[in-house]
Structures are given as structure tokens and as C-alpha cells.
């Protein structure tokens, strides 16, 4: 009788690999009519090695549909490749059925991998945004983070979907053995890690990303596999993008490069397993600190000739703006639009995007006038060349778009010199923009609502059909003062004399501006931490050259501010009497005399 068709697991293609010894050493052979022509006791199962040697496998059970057998605990023949084994069913007559290939590796239980140690060799790598072009502010762009695994021969790290994790190569990170056991004495050299367990050991890594403030408290953020992914997308993957809700400040000439930063920590937890048998608990890897720039929003008032933000536009910015020309402002607004689009799922940035889109899409059009001023009379600005010579922007505004930080105000009035004949104030809220679709409403409505306050009702001198009170009647525009950004000033010497006998010491203190109660102060000098952590500190300098002194502070609102100054340390010319003299090269004392 011919041999039946049969298959074997584990070890078959697309199945778990079989092992010599636990956990995958029990084989199940399935087929049809496995008793016919064999006999439950007369037949046998052979394991054939690559060198054509074979052994009989121990039988557990033999039924009509299924044979269960067990592999030995160790390799029964000389070292062989994991895919160079075959299983054969032998009839009671001695006839062999055709062999079927089986993939077998050494047991992962006899020499278990130290998965916890492997986990602690993993790390986070964060890709920070590139510095902005000259004249443009730093903005809170996405931070791309990835979990990288050690590059160990014979070990492959995958995520839960089976995707291979990126690796780094650091030969000093892998000294020792990845198998459990007693570490050798510290004075003995350790050999590099190699996997002497399996030709390839697949380590599955479960991943959980999170973020926190510097003090460990929660912070508002998003973590996504990519910027276009939905909020419920899988983030248990090695490569993700972090988006943090930023601190918002007014973009002024002074804050262009000094806006506050927020310190945030990127965290990841991992759980490692091999064949779902060896499994670790969740392990916290070392966090990575990143600094999130403030979102700097320029104050921009767009006055439109037509209702619903149409027709000719007059752009006004306050004198504190760093953009004296429209050509300088446009790329900043375009970049801001990109940044806010990425943040649209946080806070009120989706609403801000509506107003920002409207402005950015209109600016490249023709018919845009631009002025830098805090207080302007619209009759001083010509409307357009094709109009009569005396045609100005006075009495020509029908809709308004105002963007800026929360709390920024603009005052608009009908008469040039008095505000009792019709005036209103627009105040920006947490949506960072206000749209007045038409000034023909009484009072004008806004988007978002309730952002316009009429401070003086206009005189209705024309009670006819075209009496719109504020439409085509505005004459004067006044911006509120700049909203001061928070920062910290370092007060102390910028030059320090270094004496051979006494070194150089500078006393430094901080002057926090617009910060609330301070929670922490941290000083550093050329990267080294300086104690004590107080508002005043003494810093010792031991070498000449240019040093930098840095302070990081955080207030009760978790606003983090950083500042750094350069300190020039030079030889003290008064130190010439020291034997031997040290100041002979000093530019002001070319010749030194002993005991002067």
C-alpha cells in the first residue's frame, strides 16, 4: 500500500521552529490512514540529519489521523544547519515514505537569553528639527523618535507585527554574555556577545511610548506613527512622531531668538519575548530629554475692502514686529501654517488653522498694502493707484482678520481723534485669531464668538438702507502693547581674570522676567553641573579661553526657560610677581619682572 500524505508541526514552513529540547520538541504528524500498512507499534518515525545519519524518535501516540513523537534534548548528529533535517515515516515492512523537511534549532530553554539585559541595551534616538533660516523663529515642529536595538550576531529584534527594529552598533555595549549565568570577575576581559543559542533568535519587542514634563507630571501630547495617521493608529512600533502642545508667545523683534523652551521627556517601555515562552515584564528604558520651542505667533491685522475677507487687503503689524516688509512675513506665516496643521489635534489649533489658512491663501494675491505701526490713521494710506489721488483706506474696511497670541488687542474707531463716535476692541482668545466676516452687522459678530466689544456706539447720521454703523467708517487703528514673553536674564561678569594662585571665580544670579514662582533652577558651565541649585551661584574657572554659563529654570506653570552667556577668562596681569611669572604673553604686559 502506498504511503499516505502527511505533514509535521512544528518545524514546517510558516510555522514555529522545532527545537531540540523544550519548548518545541514535541512533533505532531498528521495525515490520512496512518494505521493502514503501518501498525501502531510496528511503524517508526525517523529523524534524518544532513549527513544522512538517522535516529528513531520516541513515540508518544499513534492514531489513524495523528502521530505524536518527541525530538531528543540535544542534537543527535554533528552540527547541522537548522533547515537540513528531514522526518520520515517507516512502514512495518521497513519501507520508508518520502522525507519531508523540518526546521529544528537548539533549545532556547537550555541556555535562556538574558532578555532583561538585552532590553536595557536598547535606547531611544530622537531626531530634532533643523535650525530655522536666519530671520525666522524656532517653532515647535514634530520630534521623530525611534527605538533602536543592539546589533548582536544571531539575534533579530522585531515589533509585534514582525517588522525588524533598527539597530545601532556599539562594540562596547555588548561585552559579556547574553545568556543567563554568573558574570566573570571584573578584572577578567569579557568577550563580545555572540548568539551561541540559535542560528537566528527572534526576539519580539512590545513597545509603549509616553511623554512627561521635566518633573514627571503628565503633559498634553500626541504620539503617532506618522503625521498623517489617525489618532487611533497603532503606536506600538519602533518609529513614531511626538507632537507637544506648545507654550504660545507673541513673535516680536525681541523674542525672535529668546522665546522660552519647554523641557519634555520621551519615555518608552518594552517587553521582550522569545517564542512566547521567555517573557520579561514591562521594562522602562532611559528617557530622552528634548526642548520644545514656544509657538511664536506674529501679530497681524488684515483689513479687507469687501465682506467675508474679499477684495483688496491692508496688512498692519505693530512696530515690535521683526518683519518690516511683507516679503519677510509671508514665509514665516507659511511655515507657521505648516506647524499649526501638524498640531491641529491639540488644543484649539484646528480653529487657529481656519484663520491662518485664510490669511496665508490671500497674501500672495495682488492688491495688498503693508504698514508697520502701532497707531495709524487710515486716511494716511493711499487705497490704490487707480483711484483718485486723495482716495485712502479711511472708510473702506468691511471685514477683518486678526491673528496673534491670546490676550492681544486692537482698538478700532470711526473718527481719527476721538473714540466716542463709534469704537470697538477685538481681543484674541485661545484660538489665536478672530474673524469679523462683516462690519454691517450691529454689533459685528465674530468667529470665534464674543471677541469684539463695542466701547462706543457709533452715531447713526445716515438712517437709510446703507447705515451699517461700522462698515466703511473706520479711520484709526491702535494696537495694544506687546505681550511680554517670559525669559531669564543672567546677571554677572562676562570677563573673568584667572590668577595662578587663586584661579578665577565669577558670581552669577538670575533675573526672571514674567515667570511665576520658580520650581527649579539648574546652573551649568561648559556642560558641567554647578551646585548649589539656587538663584545665585559662584562658578570657578580653571583655564583661560571662552566659557559658557547656562541656567535652566522652570516655574510653577511648567514653563521652562533657558539662557546662556559667554564668559572670557584671561590671565590676570597683576599676577606677575609669582615665580615663575605667568603673564609674559599678556597683551598689556609684554615684559614681566619678578617681585615687581
| 424 in a structural domain | yes
Cβ-based neighbour number of residue 469 at 10 Å: 20
Give the separation between CA 280 and CA 207, rounded to whole angstroms: 12
| 502 in a structural domain | yes
Inter-residue contact 16 to 204 (CB < 8 Å): no
Burial class (CB in 10 A: 0-12, 13-18, 19+), 408: buried
pTM of the model: 0.65
- Helix 326-342 to helix 349-362 angle, to the nearest 10 degrees? 150
Residue by residue, pLDDT tens for the chain (596 residues) are: 577 778 888 888 777 788 887 778 888 888 777 765 555 555 788 888 877 788 888 888 888 778 888 888 777 776 555 567 888 888 777 788 888 888 887 665 445 578 898 999 999 999 988 888 888 899 999 999 999 999 887 788 999 888 999 988 654 555 445 554 333 333 333 333 333 444 568 899 999 999 998 778 888 899 999 998 988 888 999 999 999 999 899 999 888 777 788 889 999 999 999 887 778 999 999 999 998 999 999 999 999 999 999 999 999 999 999 999 999 999 999 999 999 999 999 989 999 999 999 999 888 666 789 999 999 999 888 887 666 667 889 888 999 999 999 999 999 999 887 778 889 999 999 999 999 999 988 889 999 999 999 999 887 655 554 455 788 889 999 999 988 777 788 888 988 988 766 678 889 999 887 787 888 898 988 878 887 778 899 898 888 888 989 888 888 777 778 888 889 898 876 655 444 444 444 444 444 443 33
Same domain, 246 and 390: no
Give the separation between CA 249 and CA 297, rounded to whole angstroms: 6
Alpha helices, H only, 178-325: none
Strands (E), 91-175: 100-102, 104-106, 123-127, 143-150, 155-158, 167-168
Give the separation between CA 592 and CA 581, rounded to whole angstroms: 7
CATH number at residue 569: 2.60.40.10
Same domain, 272 and 371: no
Q: Which residue has the cell 554568573?
A: 182
Strands (E), 179-299: 201-213, 221-224, 239-244, 248-251, 261-274, 278-279, 283-284, 288-293, 295-298
Same domain, 280 and 330: no
Same domain, 288 and 370: no
pLDDT of residue 25: 83
Closest-CA residue to 438 (of 395, 475, 413, 472): 472
Same domain, 68 and 216: no
Angle at 522 between CA 516 and CA 524, to 5 degrees: 140
Give the separation between CA 423 and CA 528, rounded to whole angstroms: 57
- Mapped onto helix, strand or coil, the DSSP state of residue 28 is strand
pLDDT of residue 385: 60
**Among candidate residues 80, 106, 132, the one where a domain is terminated:** 106
Inter-residue contact 500 to 575 (CB < 8 Å): yes
| 216 in a structural domain | yes
**E strand or H helix at 334, and its extent?**
helix 326-342
Which residues neighbour 208 within 8 Å (Cβ) at sequence distance 6 or greater? Answer: 236, 268, 269, 270, 282
Same domain, 223 and 250: yes
For residue 279, give its domain range: 115-178+190-296
Same domain, 143 and 97: no
pLDDT of residue 128: 87
Give the separation between CA 211 and CA 216, rounded to whole angstroms: 9
Same domain, 467 and 570: no
Q: How many angstroms separate the first and last alpha carbons of the chain?
A: 118
Inter-residue contact 309 to 435 (CB < 8 Å): yes
Cβ-based neighbour number of residue 182 at 10 Å: 6
| 588 in a structural domain | no
pLDDT of residue 189: 33
Give the separation between CA 303 and CA 309, rounded to whole angstroms: 8
Give the separation between CA 525 and CA 31, rounded to whole angstroms: 75
Same domain, 27 and 101: yes
Question: Grid coordinates in use for 219?
Answer: 503633559
Closest-CA residue to 201 (of 298, 282, 82, 361): 82
Same domain, 309 and 235: no
Domain count, the chain: 4
Give the separation between CA 140 and CA 263, rounded to whole angstroms: 12
Burial class (CB in 10 A: 0-12, 13-18, 19+), 369: middle
Give the separation between CA 86 and CA 103, rounded to whole angstroms: 8
Same domain, 432 and 504: no
Same domain, 74 and 149: no
Give the separation between CA 108 and CA 201, rounded to whole angstroms: 9
| 534 in a structural domain | yes
Which residues neighbour 215 within 8 Å (Cβ) at sequence distance 6 or greater? Answer: 519, 520, 554, 558
Which residues neighbour 523 within 8 Å (Cβ) at sequence distance 6 or greater? Answer: 508, 529, 530, 531, 533, 537, 539, 549, 550, 551
Question: Grid coordinates in use for 417?
Answer: 481723534
Burial class (CB in 10 A: 0-12, 13-18, 19+), 301: buried
**Among candidate residues 433, 454, 479, the one where a domain is terminated:** 479
| 145 in a structural domain | yes
**Among candidate residues 479, 510, 526, the one where a domain is terminated:** 479
Q: What is the 3-state secondary structure (H, E, C) of 534-594?
A: CCEEEEEECCCEEEEEEEEEEECCCCEEEEEEEEEEEECHHHHHCCCCCCCCCCCCCCCCC
Q: Strand 518-525 vs strand 528-530: parallel, antiparallel, or unpaired?
A: antiparallel
Q: What is the 3-state secondary structure (H, E, C) of 34-62?
A: CCCCCCCCCCEEEEECCCCCEEECEEEEE
Longest CA span, the chain: 119
Give the separation between CA 8 and CA 10, rounded to whole angstroms: 6
| 555 in a structural domain | yes
| 183 in a structural domain | no
Amino acid at each position: 500500500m502506498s504511503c499516505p500524505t502527511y505533514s509535521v508541526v512544528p518545524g514546517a514552513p510558516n510555522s514555529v521552529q522545532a527545537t531540540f529540547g523544550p519548548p518545541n520538541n514535541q512533533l505532531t504528524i498528521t495525515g490520512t490512514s496512518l494505521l493502514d500498512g503501518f501498525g501502531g507499534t510496528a511503524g517508526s518515525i525517523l529523524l534524518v540529519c544532513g549527513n544522512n545519519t538517522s535516529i528513531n524518535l520516541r513515540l508518544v501516540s499513534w492514531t489513524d489521523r495523528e502521530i505524536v513523537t518527541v525530538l531528543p534534548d540535544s542534537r543527535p548528529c554533528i552540527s547541522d544547519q537548522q533547515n537540513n533535517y528531514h522526518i520520515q515515516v517507516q512502514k512495518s515492512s521497513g519501507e520508508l515514505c518520502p522525507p519531508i523537511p523540518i526546521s529544528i534549532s537548539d533549545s532556547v530553554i537550555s541556555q535562556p537569553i538574558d532578555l532583561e539585559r538585552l532590553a536595557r541595551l536598547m535606547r531611544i534616538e530622537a531626531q530634532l528639527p533643523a535650525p530655522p533660516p536666519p530671520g525666522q523663529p524656532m517653532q515647535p515642529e514634530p520630534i521623530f523618535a525611534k527605538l533602536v536595538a543592539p546589533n548582536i550576531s544571531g539575534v533579530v529584534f522585531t515589533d509585534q507585527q514582525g517588522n525588524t527594529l533598527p539597530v545601532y552598533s556599539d562594540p562596547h555595549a555588548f561585552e559579556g554574555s547574553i545568556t543567563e549565568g554568573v558574570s566573570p570577575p571584573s578584572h577578567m576581559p569579557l568577550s563580545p556577545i555572540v548568539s551561541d543559542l540559535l542560528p537566528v533568535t527572534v526576539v519580539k519587542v512590545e513597545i509603549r511610548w509616553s511623554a512627561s514634563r521635566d518633573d514627571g507630571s503628565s503633559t498634553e501630547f500626541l504620539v503617532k506613527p506618522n503625521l498623517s495617521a489617525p489618532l487611533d493608529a497603532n503606536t506600538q512600533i519602533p518609529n513614531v512622531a511626538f507632537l507637544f502642545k506648545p507654550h504660545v508667545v507673541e513673535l516680536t523683534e525681541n523674542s525672535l531668538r529668546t522665546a522660552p523652551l519647554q523641557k519634555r521627556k520621551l519615555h518608552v517601555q518594552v517587553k521582550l519575548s522569545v517564542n512566547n515562552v521567555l517573557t520579561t515584564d514591562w521594562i522602562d528604558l532611559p528617557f530622552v530629554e528634548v526642548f520644545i520651542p514656544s509657538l511664536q505667533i506674529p501679530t497681524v491685522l488684515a483689513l479687507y475692502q469687501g465682506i467675508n475677507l474679499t477684495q483688496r487687503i491692508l496688512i498692519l503689524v505693530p512696530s515690535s514686529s521683526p518683519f518690516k516688509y511683507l516679503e519677510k512675513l509671508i514665509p514665516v506665516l507659511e511655515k507657521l501654517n505648516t506647524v499649526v496643521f501638524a498640531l491641529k489635534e491639540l488644543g484649539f489649533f484646528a480653529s487657529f488653522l481656519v484663520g491662518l489658512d485664510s490669511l496665508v491663501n490671500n497674501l500672495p494675491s495682488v492688491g495688498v498694502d503693508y504698514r508697520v505701526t502701532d497707531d495709524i490713521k487710515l486716511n494716511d494710506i493711499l487705497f490704490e493707484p487707480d483711484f483718485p489721488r486723495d482716495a485712502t483706506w479711511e472708510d473702506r474696511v468691511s471685514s477683518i482678520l486678526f491673528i496673534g497670541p491670546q490676550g492681544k488687542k486692537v482698538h478700532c474707531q470711526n473718527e481719527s481723534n476721538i473714540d466716542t463716535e463709534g469704537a470697538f476692541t477685538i481681543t484674541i482668545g485661545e484660538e489665536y485669531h478672530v474673524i469679523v466676516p462683516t462690519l454691517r452687522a450691529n454689533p459685528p459678530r465674530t468667529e470665534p464668538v464674543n471677541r469684539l466689544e463695542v466701547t462706543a456706539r457709533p452715531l447713526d447720521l445716515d438712517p437709510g438702507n446703507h447705515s451699517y454703523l461700522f462698515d466703511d467708517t473706520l479711520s484709526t487703528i491702535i494696537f495694544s502693547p506687546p505681550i511680554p514673553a517670559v525669559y531669564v536674564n543672567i546677571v554677572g561678569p562676562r570677563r573673568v581674570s584667572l590668577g595662578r594662585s587663586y584661579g578665577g571665580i565669577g558670581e552669577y544670579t538670575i533675573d526672571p522676567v514674567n515667570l511665576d514662582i520658580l520650581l527649579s533652577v539648574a546652573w551649568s558651565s561648559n556642560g558641567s553641573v554647578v551646585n548649589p541649585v539656587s538663584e545665585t551661584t559662584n562658578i570657578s574657572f580653571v583655564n583661560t579661553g571662552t566659557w559658557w554659563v547656562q541656567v535652566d529654570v522652570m516655574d510653577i506653570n511648567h514653563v521652562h526657560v533657558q539662557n546662556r552667556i559667554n564668559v572670557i577668562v584671561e590671565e590676570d596681569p597683576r599676577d606677575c610677581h609669582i615665580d615663575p611669572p605667568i603673564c609674559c604673553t599678556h597683551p598689556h604686559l609684554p615684559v614681566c619682572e619678578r617681585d615687581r
